[in-house]
Amino acid sequence: MDMPENESLARRLGRAIRKERLAQGLRQTDLSLVSGVAAPTISDIENAARDTRLSSVQRLMDALLLDPETALSGKRPEKAERSRDVEPYDLSVPR
């Protein structure tokens, strides 16, 4: 789904982060653990609820293997694009 051109940058990035987080089956608390960004801040970013640091947005995008161009296009990256040279995070809980 393409995003309207007049939609704010913050809202577009927030939607892209949320879309990718959900597509990867992650909760905000999961993403918080791997990105170092607090879960309430993730919620604020996803909902464009307040101005936030660009560094926080970048940490979320890095954790999701999401590049800015793809995020702003409104499309999910292809699996090959997402794999890059980055190892996926292991979110399994030790038993």
1 located within any domain: no
What residues make up the domain containing 44?
9-72
Domain count, the chain: 1
Predicted TM-score (pTM) above 0.75: no
Is residue 85 one of the residues assigned to a domain? Answer: no
> Is 14 domain-assigned?
yes
CATH number at residue 34: 1.10.260.40
User: CA-CA distance, 89 to 50, in Å (whole number)?
Assistant: 28
Give every CB contact of residue 11 below 8 A, 6+ residues apart in sequence: 48
Greater confidence (75 vs 42) lies with 42
Query: Residue 50: what pLDDT?
Result: 81
Q: Is residue 25 part of a domain?
A: yes
Confirm whether 91 is domain-assigned: no
Q: Please report the pLDDT score of residue 5 as a whole number.
A: 55
How far is the C-alpha of 26 from the C-alpha of 53, rounded, in Å?
22
For 17-62, what is each residue's pLDDT tens digit? 999 999 999 999 999 999 999 999 999 999 999 888 888 999 999 9
